[in-house]
């Protein structure tokens, strides 16, 4: 089985999709991750970890430096780890992917959306656009936005306060409302993301495993063709 690293792994949102694609995955995070779902875990600074012996590396550097939060009145400075991560991966030379939010300084990224994978909860669809840079050729379908009710993933807790909320949240730490003032429960947000093992605050940092599965299946196919 091909071996992969998941840098900045958190609780393993990308890891689960990588496993579903067929990789043995070791997660790396500077913080303890008691709910990490991978095959092995290294608590360390990702930039200090050796890549020897691995076939593929996924990286999800912290996104706070590139979100709308940086424009808030009480915004705190955040380090942008994308350049250092990219330099490390390029120096290694194997296949890699860097994931981040829309607005992050990624080169020629593929954009994925939850509607490409029919993700959602109830009558609301998940969009959750994310960008993916790689040194491999990757394909991505087009968004399939159809519904007016959209699932976001914010807030640490959350309750459905109205019968037919138009926006579902999966971000933040304490269950804040979306711009329309509605929230979906953690259970509904888990359903929308295809994640059943994370708490609300972990969901707020996550991407659907369907994204990493889709991209890593392409990576694995390319690795197998090179080996043939």
* Dihedral, CA of residue 66, residue 67, residue 69 and residue 73, to nearest 10: 50
- Nearest by Cα to 40 from 23, 21, 52: 23
Model confidence, pTM? 0.86
- Nearest by Cα to 61 from 48, 87, 80, 45: 80
Whether residue 139 contacts residue 110, with contact meaning beta carbons closer than 8 Å, is answered with yes
pLDDT at position 149: 86
What confidence tier does 180 reach under pLDDT thresholds 50, 70, 90?
A: very low
Span 185-200, average pLDDT: 94
Q: State yes or no: pLDDT of 76 exceeds 80.
A: no
Report the distance separating Cα 8 and Cα 22, nearest Å: 20
| CB-count burial class (<10 Å; 0-12, 13-18, 19+) for 157 | middle
Give the ranges where 58-167 is alpha helix by DSSP (H).
82-92
pLDDT in tens, 93-149: 999 999 999 999 999 999 999 999 999 998 899 999 999 999 999 999 999 999 888
Mean pLDDT (the chain) is: 86
Q: State yes or no: pLDDT of 44 exceeds 70.
A: yes
What Rg do the C-alpha atoms of the chain give, in angstroms? 17
Q: State yes or no: pLDDT of 158 exceeds 90.
A: no
Report the distance separating Cα 167 and Cα 188, nearest Å: 12
Please give the class, per CATH, of domain 3-227.
alpha beta
């Amino acid at each position: 089985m091909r071996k992969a690293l998941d840098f900045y792994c958190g609780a393993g949102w990308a890891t689960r999709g990588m496993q579903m694609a067929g990789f043995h995955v070791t997660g790396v995070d500077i913080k303890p991750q008691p709910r990490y779902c991978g095959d092995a875990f290294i608590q360390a600074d990702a930039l200090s970890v050796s890549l020897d012996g691995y076939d593929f590396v996924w990286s999800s550097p912290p996104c706070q430096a590139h979100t709308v939060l940086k424009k808030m009145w009480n915004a705190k400075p955040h380090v942008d780890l994308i350049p250092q991560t990219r330099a490390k991966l390029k120096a290694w030379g194997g296949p890699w992917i860097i994931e981040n939010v829309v607005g992050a300084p990624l080169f020629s990224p593929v954009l994925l959306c939850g509607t490409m994978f029919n993700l959602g909860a109830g009558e609301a669809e998940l969009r959750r656009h994310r960008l993916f840079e790689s040194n491999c050729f990757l394909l991505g379908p087009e968004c399939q936005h159809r519904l007016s009710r959209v699932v976001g993933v914010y807030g640490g807790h959350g309750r459905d306060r109205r019968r037919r909320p138009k926006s579902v949240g999966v971000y933040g730490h304490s269950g804040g409302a979306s711009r329309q003032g509605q929230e979906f429960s953690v259970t509904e947000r888990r359903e929308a993301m295809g994640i059943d093992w994370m708490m609300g605050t972990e969901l707020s940092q996550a991407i659907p495993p369907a994204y990493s599965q889709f991209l890593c299946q392409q990576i694995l196919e390319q690795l197998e063709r090179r080996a043939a």
